[in-house]
Amino acid sequence: MPSTATTAQKNALAQSAPTLGWVSNRQYIDTFMDGCEKIQRELDRESIDRAMDVLFSAWQNDRTVFTIGNGGSAGTASHLASDLNKMTALPDVRRMRVMSLVDNICLFSALVNDDGWEHVFTEQLTNFYKPGDMLVAVSVHGGAGKDKAGAWSQNLLKAIQWVKDRGGKTIGLSGFDGGAMKEVCDVCIVVPYNTTPHVEGWHGVLHHLLAFGVAERIAAHEGRRLLRS
């Protein structure tokens, strides 16, 4: 059915656009980029420094790093595991072991079906975790908030506590106010912004910073140079 909105109604809708977050392509772009600049200025470098130390110590002590996340954060967790494995692979140097717990869809869906969503990561950790291993958890809200299925990221929080109870180190990548992950993780890098696209985008930046930074540090420790662009 064709629209029956009057000119006055259309004008009123146009005037309300700024409150809906939309004015024009250019203004949206500028606002989005301004948010990125704000994050860059306010991001806590100390937490990034500490996270790099924890990851480097995992390599030094021959421990496995596990990565977890839900939704888009699962993609970040998978990508981080891939880069940490690949970028730290140097000839005749002990390899870093990193395993994403989001990639085996057959196992993942079987665990969800049989044991429940909240246990999907702890059940895998029960198979693979050894004393001294560590966990990286990625979550936009850090376990705060809820939707139709209930509270968000409770499976991540359960996995973090599971690892901590066994003496392992935990790193969190979060956003907004950090959520519960800010309190429970040994190190939590919080993207200080309140929109999901900004937080997820900066998690991608951070994962590359961590992976390539640790790779450079391992190379320097071994007297090598990374010849990668």
* DSSP output for 137-153: EE-SSTT--EETTEETT
Which CATH class, in words, describes the domain spanning 47-221? alpha beta
Model-level pTM?
A: 0.87
User: How many residues are recorded in the chain?
Assistant: 229
Q: Which residue has the tokens 């990034």?
A: 48
Task: For the beta carbon of residue 125, count every other beta carbon within 10 angstroms.
Answer: 20
pLDDT at 22 (0 to 100): 74
Structure confidence by residue, pLDDT tens digits, 169-186: 999 999 999 999 999 999
Cβ neighbors of 62 (< 8 A, separation 6 or more) are 94, 97
Confidence band, pLDDT 50/70/90 cuts, at residue 144: confident
Higher pLDDT, 4 or 157: 157
In the chain, where the domains are located: 47-221
The residue type of 40 is Q
CA 88 to chain centre: 19
CA 48 to chain centre: 13
Rounded Cα–Cα distance for residues 96 and 187 (Å): 20
Confidence band, pLDDT 50/70/90 cuts, at residue 23: confident
Helices (H), the chain: 7-20, 25-42, 45-60, 72-87, 105-115, 122-128, 154-165, 181-184, 196-221
Task: For the beta carbon of residue 136, count every other beta carbon within 10 angstroms.
Answer: 30
Structure confidence by residue, pLDDT tens digits, 84-132: 999 999 888 999 999 999 999 999 999 999 999 999 999 999 999 999 9
Distances (CA, A) of 46 to 1, 43, 127, 136: 58, 9, 33, 17
